[in-house]
Structure 1
Amino acid sequence: MTTAAPAAERPATRADGRGSEFAPLLRTVKGQGLLERRIGWYARSIAVNTVALAAVITAMVLAGNSWWTLLLAVPLALFSARSSFIGHDAGHFQIARRRSANRVLGLIHGNLLVGTSAAWWNDKHNRHHANPNHVDKDPDVAPDVLVFAGEHVEGRTGFRAWLTRHQAWLFFPLCLLEGLNLKVQGFKDLRRQTPRERTVEGLLLLLHAVAYVTLLLLVLSPGKALLFALIHQALFGLHLGLAFAPNHKGMPMPDSTTERWGHLRRQVLTSRNIRGGPVTDWLLGGLNYQIEHHLFPSMPRPHLRLARPLVRAHCRDLGIPYTETGAVDSYRQALGHLREVGEPLRAE
């Protein structure tokens, strides 16, 4: 649902000419202390997730070379996603006051625990935040296996054309590969990094891979170990896909010739919130408050829900659409957009 009529064509400045549309909201949010760090909350979250991961690993060792051990790939995927969400927050400097501390937390939860390069993720993700859903500037909508913009369909032939024709049906199956893709992209990005960064990131990625393979082969036979890894990585990727897919897919996509929005409209008009309670917040890592997260990337996760009514009210006063929907409807909209983009190829 939206709380106002479309207003994408409006200028970035306030109608009364008193400065940016975002500044009053920023003052209100700051005044309520919503940009202050929540170190205690994050310390508890990190501790709980660490204990949960340790418990799953302990259960694997105790269960041994049994087919029942494969069931533990499910909670391991769940808590691996929790680690990714913590790494995501660290990349936005939400957790600690010092950037160096956030950097260390990002390396631990990204490179070491998940096997994803924190530097690669932060570079890509920050470019996304700067220009969400922008056809020419957002790496998350750049044409690749999937195509998110109609202008990128032209020239797709052969297998790529087949993928685009059926991408709505293939989206969630492809998410099963995302866990492995994150690892591959992290290793490939080492070539771009500085020598010091490459050494630190590379060693932690290697340590993760060695520890992961060693654990599986110590507990399980090679065949079961491979099956466990496939289940774990597939569910991990699917979980991340479910968390990230509803955020922007099917929302307006500005380009370099039409985008004239200021920060507020650039972030609000291209983002979608997901309604829900504490369980939704936990499963989606706070990304269900996508509008608030994009407006205030460094805002600690537990404050996003508190900022939501302030942002809604501000958007309502300005006549800016604030899009919020249920989880199922968000996936329907995202898949509908993918289907619409692929329509020209199905018509051939």
Structure 2
Amino acid sequence: MSTMKDLRVDTERNKAFAQDLNRRVHAYLNQDGKSPYADFRYYLKAVFMAGLYWVPFFLMLFHVGGTPLFWISWILMGFGMSGIGMNVMHDANHGSVSTKQRINKFFGASMYLLSGYVLTWQIQHNHLHHNYTNHIGQDEDLETRGLLRLHPGDKWKKGHKFQAWYGPFIYGLLTLNWVLVKDFSQVARYNKMGLLEKFKTTVNKEFVKLSFIKALYIGVFLGLPMMMGWAWYSVLLGFVIMHFLAGFVLSFVFQLAHVVPEVDHPTGEEIKGPGAWQVNQLLTTSNFAMKNPVLTWSLGGLNHQIEHHLFPHVSHVHYPALAKIVERTAKEHGLPYFKHSFMLEAVAAHLRFLNDMGKKPATA
């Protein structure tokens, strides 16, 4: 049986797989007037997710429904926030909504509703995560400052033996961390790495923009409710509830794609050459619940992470159709296509992996 390393270094197979896959996907996207960009389904969903976020906010702001609706509103906004992140922001910041960059930028700016920052997200996600998927030390999605061990090559700490229990609660802090801490530290770090220059900007310019956007966000979602008469402690708690729900959903969905036992977790140097990038995406990514249309709609197609990683500039509305092509092509070339039939099955696999990574390695 071929190992992951064997599959990576088979350059002839890598090249043939990439060529066949690209030819078939492009043929599908070019038939019957299709395009790789979004269609009406994306825009309708964008309106729905925006409503799920803004309608409860304004109802709460003007005391409609009193105290009960105040708390319900923050909960609905949490799901609206995660919905915007997965269904609207994600496609737009990959440039897959439209050929017109101003439209991508408009919808991509919905990132600010998640308390995040477009530039740092694009560097971490588009540049580092997509180019170096699951590569320790390069894919920053695996970086947790020691709170969790998400890769066999990561340093083990005693506290990690409980991470299968406390990990999901850490996930809920994702967007709260964005509010005041992560984006500022990333701007400073990416400047040292020379990435800001690559993106044609400067650290001073980004700090000014970032400070303004964060102040505006805090003013709207904390300041306005207080000004409208809600107690500061209630507003603060509601704000935390909203962010915890959004962070929990967003983190869990992305972890189910890469932090599961069956996918590859590379520790050596990156294999290069024709098709190597495509094979790396295939080996380090897993799908789940592909036959569940409700879940696919709700998660912005991110249960089809294999297709997203292979074709990040294609809108998520096309992923279910592309999945059939990708799976068939992978099997023809003797390559694995990792998937879980149900979401709960994927959740169980992720928790099992967290538990395994929490055990003390023999060499530790």
Instruction: Give me the whole-angstrom Cα distance separating, in 2, the residues matched to 1:220 and 1:56.
Output: 15
- Say yes or no: does 1:241 pair with 2:251: yes
- Distance, in Å, in 2 between the alignment partners of 1:266 and 1:219 is 53
Q: Which residue of 2 aligns with 1:296?
A: 311
Residue by residue over 1:274-321, the C-alpha shift from the partner in whole angstroms, topping out at 9 and shown as x without a partner, is 114222113322110010000000110100111000001001101111
Aligned pair count reads 335
Is the aligned partner of 1:220 residue 2:220?
A: no
Q: Which stretch of structure 1 is more off in the superposition, 65-74 or 79-88?
A: 65-74
The RMSD of aligned alpha carbons is 2.6
Does residue 1:186 correspond to 2:195, yes or no?
no
- What fraction of aligned residue pairs are identical, expressed as a percent? 22
Q: What is the aligned partner in structure 1 of residue 199 from structure 2?
A: none
Counterpart in the other structure of 1:110: 111
- Counterpart residue number, 1:172: 168
Q: Which moved more, 1:122-131 or 1:28-37?
A: 28-37
| Equivalent-residue separation in structure 2 for 1:206 and 1:30 (angstroms) | 44
Instruction: Map residues 155-166 of structure 1 onto 2, 5 A cutoff.
Output: 156=157, 161-162=158-159, 164-166=160-162
Is 2:219 aligned against 1:210? Answer: yes
Residue of structure 2 aligned with 1:340, choices 353, 356, 360: 356
Tell me how far apart the structure 1 counterparts of residues 271 and 65 of structure 2 sit (CA, whole Å).
57
**Worse-superposed segment, 246-255 or 36-45:** 36-45
Shift of 1:182: 2.4
Q: d(CA) in 1 for partners of 2:54 and 2:269?
A: 51
Partner of 2:55 in structure 1?
55
Q: In structure 2, what is the equivalent of residue 76 of structure 1?
A: 77
Tell me, yes or no, if the aligned pair for 2:82 and 2:249 is still in contact at 8 Å.
Answer: yes
Q: Which runs of 4+ in 1 moved over 6 A?
A: 345-348
**1:103-155 Cα deviation digits (max 9, x unpaired):** 33222x012x221011111101121111111123211123521112233235x
Verify the 8 A CA contact 2:63 2:70 in the aligned structure 1: no
Q: Residues 322, 219 of structure 1: CA spacing in aligned structure 2 closer, same or farther, 3 A cutoff? A: farther
Given residue 301 of structure 1, which amino acid in structure 2 is its aligned partner? H
Q: CA deviation at 1:207?
A: 1.4
Asked if the contact 2:281/2:306 (under 8 Å) is kept, the reply is yes
Q: TM-score, normalised by structure 1?
A: 0.87
8 Å CA contact 2:175–2:246 kept in 1: the answer is yes
Contact 1:66 1:220 in 2 (8 A): no
Q: Distance in 2 between matches of 1:151 and 1:245?
A: 17
Q: Is the 8 Å Cα contact of residues 54 and 77 (structure 2) preserved in structure 1?
A: no
Q: Relative contact order: is structure 1 or structure 2 higher (C-alpha 8 Å, sep ≥ 6)? A: 1
Identify which of 286, 293, 314 aligns with 1:272.
Answer: 286
Question: What CA distance in whole angstroms lies between the structure 2 residues aligned with 1:84 and 1:248?
Answer: 18
Matched with 1:331 is: 347
Q: Secondary structure at the match of 1:255?
A: coil
Deviation at 1:93, TM superposition (A): 0.6
Unaligned runs of 5+ in 1: none
